[in-house]
Amino acid sequence: MIKKVGIALLFYILLSIGLDVLNIGPQVFSLNQDQVVATVNEEKIYKSDLQTAMKSATPKLSKDDSKQIDHSLIQQQIEQKALEKLIHKELLLQEAKKENFQLSKEEKQKALEQIEEHFTNESELENVLDKYNLSEHELKEMVEEELLVATFLEKKLKGLAEDNRQEELKLFLEQLKKKNKINIQM
């Protein structure tokens, strides 16, 4: 059974990386025309994936703040952080699959139900899916992938004190980077 913290983490990940695809529209789905910005082993990360991750990380600034900031530098930093997040996510997904880590049908179903609860009715969910040319199957795949990564991480970091989790996660990700082929093409 998934802990509430795990579900909260899953929902955060979905909103910050996965489901934010709903905010940029159908161009995400024309991947054959999309530029590859990085590969993790043989898996490609596309510019549209990066733009989605950047959109969720871009801070909203007031007009006064906006005048005093070097936008190109901030944009570059956001782009680097977003790409790093996407690479980490792909590394974790691949590692989970490599270790044959699987979710139960119940875990998957519970996560989907919790996502659906955020809509007032089924037609609201269908309208959002239609608006952005996303099928229920695609949504389900996104939820399952994000849940797999979140649950895998929870298992890897289980038993560690909260202060040690961040450090242990950094070490784990660095080890994954060293033993996998990552090619950044920007």
Domains of the chain, by residue range, sit at: 4-58+70-184
Q: pLDDT tens digits, the chain, 186 residues: what are they?
A: 344 444 444 444 454 444 443 333 333 344 445 899 999 999 999 998 888 777 766 655 555 555 566 678 888 888 999 999 999 999 999 999 999 999 999 998 998 888 888 888 888 888 878 876 678 888 788 888 889 999 998 888 887 777 788 888 888 889 989 988 888 887
Q: Which residues contact 56 (CB under 8 A, 6 or more apart)?
A: 15, 16, 17, 20, 23
Going across the sheet that includes 43-46, the strands are 43-46, 36-40, 182-184
Q: Is 0.85 surpassed by the pTM of this model? A: no
Domain 4-58+70-184 has CATH 3.30.70.1050: no
Give the H or E element holding residue 37.
Answer: strand 36-40
CA distances from 80 to 42, 74, 183 (A): 21, 10, 14
**Alpha-carbon distance 162 to 158, whole Å?**
10
Identify the residue whose tokens are 């289980």: 158
Q: Is 41 left (phi over 0), alpha (psi -120 to 50) or beta?
A: left
